[in-house]
Amino acid sequence: MTQADFSARSALFVPAANARALAKSTQLPADTLIFDLEDSAAPTEKAAARENLRQHLAAPRSTARHVVRINSLTTPEGTEDLLMARGARVDAILLPKVEKAGELAELSQALEQTDAPPELAIWAMVETPKGILNAGALAAMQLAYRLEALVVGPNDIVAATNLRPSAGRAELVPWLAQIVLAAKAAEILVLDGVYNDFRDRAGFEAECTQGRAMGFDGKTLIHPDQIEPANLAFGPTADELAQAQEIVAAFADPANAGRGVIRLGGRMVELLHLKKAQRLLRQKSL
Ligand SMILES: CC(C)(COP(=O)(O)OP(=O)(O)OC[C@H]1O[C@@H](n2cnc3c(N)ncnc32)[C@H](O)[C@@H]1OP(=O)(O)O)[C@@H](O)C(=O)NCCC(=O)NCCSC(=O)C[C@H](O)C(=O)O
Ligand SMILES: [Mg+2]
Closest ligand 1 atom to residue 24 Cα is 26
Report ipTM (2 d.p.): 0.99
Query: What residues contact residue 246 under an 8 Å CB cut-off, 6+ apart?
Result: 264, 265
* Distance from Cα 220 to the centre of ligand 2, integer Å: 11
Q: Where are the domains of the chain?
A: 10-234, 238-285
Spatial distance between the Cα atoms of 66 and 92, rounded to a whole number of angstroms: 7
Tell the residue nearest (CA) to atom 28 of ligand 1.
21
Q: Is residue 119 left, alpha or beta, with left meaning phi > 0 and alpha meaning psi from -120 to 50?
A: alpha
Tell the residue nearest (CA) to atom 38 of ligand 1.
222
Closest ligand 1 atom to residue 20 Cα is 29
* Distance from Cα 59 to the centre of ligand 1, integer Å: 21
Residue 253 in marked binding region? no
Tell the residue nearest (CA) to atom 33 of ligand 1.
20
Please report the beta strands in the chain, taking only residues with DSSP state E, as ranges in sequence order.
Answer: 10-15, 32-36, 65-69, 92-95, 121-126, 147-152, 189-192, 218-221, 261-264, 267-270
* Distance from Cα 33 to the centre of ligand 1, integer Å: 12
pLDDT at 4: 73
Tell the residue nearest (CA) to atom 32 of ligand 1.
20
- Which ligand gives the minimal distance to the CA of 33? 1
B/e letters for 204-220, b = 16+ CB within 10 Å, e = fewer, are bbebbebbbeebbbbbb
pLDDT at 213: 97
pLDDT at 285: 67
Task: Please spell the DSSP secondary structure of 61-89, one letter per residue.
Answer: --SSEEEEEPPPTTSHHHHHHHHHHHHTT
* Distance from Cα 158 to the centre of ligand 2, integer Å: 10
Alpha carbon of residue 14 to chain centroid: 14
pLDDT at 1: 44
pTM for the whole structure: 0.94
* Distance from Cα 257 to the centre of ligand 2, integer Å: 51
Does the beta carbon of 67 lie inside 6 Å of ligand 1? Answer: no
Does the beta carbon of 154 lie inside 6 Å of ligand 1? Answer: yes
* Burial degree of 193 (CB within 10 A; 0-12, 13-18, 19+): buried
- One-letter amino acid identity for 202? A
Spatial distance between the Cα atoms of 40 and 228, rounded to a whole number of angstroms: 23
CATH number of 10-234: 3.20.20.60
Q: What are the pLDDT tens digits along the chain (286 aa)?
A: 456 778 999 999 999 999 999 999 999 999 999 999 999 999 999 999 999 999 999 999 999 999 999 999 999 999 999 999 999 999 999 999 999 999 999 999 999 998 889 899 999 999 999 999 999 999 998 777 889 999 999 999 999 999 999 999 999 999 999 999 999 999 999 999 999 999 999 999 999 999 999 999 999 999 999 999 999 999 999 999 999 999 999 999 999 999 999 999 999 999 999 999 998 888 776 6
Tell the residue nearest (CA) to atom 7 of ligand 1.
223
